[in-house]
Amino acid sequence: MTHCVVYFFGDPEAVSRLVGKRDALTASWVVRIVPSTNGNGPHRLTPQKIAEVVTKTSAGNYALGRVQENGFCVLYVGRSDDDVAKPLRSWAREHTRYKAFVFSYAPHPRAAFDKECEDFHDLGGTETLDNAEHPKPPANADWLCPRCDLYG
């Protein structure tokens, strides 16, 4: 059985009591509430949808997964240091496991790295995500994870 992390959509007050607990229906960890007005997803993971919604070339973060009845199930987190649409297009072409994505732009590569690390830890790391390892900084950077001081 795959365990995933669910982003709940809708009224934050109605589901806030679930944060940090297991969803009884899916055995998924509930870690974050996303208001239904969030403009950055979830979206179907297709080249057409990526071109439609990722409209600028920028560093950024993304989460891949699937939409469930009760929200978005995150299975993988990632980032791009220069063009968040580029890895999303690659995932859409090469992998059928992930059906949907959410994303956000980052002002610079360091912010994208920090957010990827935070998301990785918040969503359970390698125990619950498909990510094989902790996020790494770019080859020429000596950045440390803001949560665990890994790398540098």
For residue 104, what is the enclosing H or E element?
strand 100-105
Q: Which of 3-7, 27-31, 66-70, 77-81 has the lowest mean pLDDT?
A: 27-31
- Between CA 61 and CA 106 the distance in angstroms is 7
pLDDT tens for 38-91 read 347 789 999 999 999 999 999 999 999 888 776 788 889 999 999 999 999 999
Using CA of residue 139, residue 143, residue 146, residue 147, what is the dihedral sign? positive
- Reading the block at residue 33, the tokens are 């509430």
CA-angle at 98, arms to 139 and 51, nearest 5°: 75
Report which of residues 80 and 5 the model is more confident about: 80
**Homologous superfamily of 5-127 in CATH?**
GIY-YIG endonuclease (3.40.1440.10)
Domain extents for the chain?
Answer: 5-127
Give me the percent of the chain exceeding a pLDDT of 70. 73
For the cut 80, the answer to whether the pLDDT of residue 152 exceeds it is no
- pLDDT at residue number 7: 52
Residues 26 and 79: beta-carbon distance below 8 Å: no
pLDDT tens for 121-139 read 988 899 888 999 999 999 9
pTM: 0.79
For the cut 70, the answer to whether the pLDDT of residue 145 exceeds it is yes
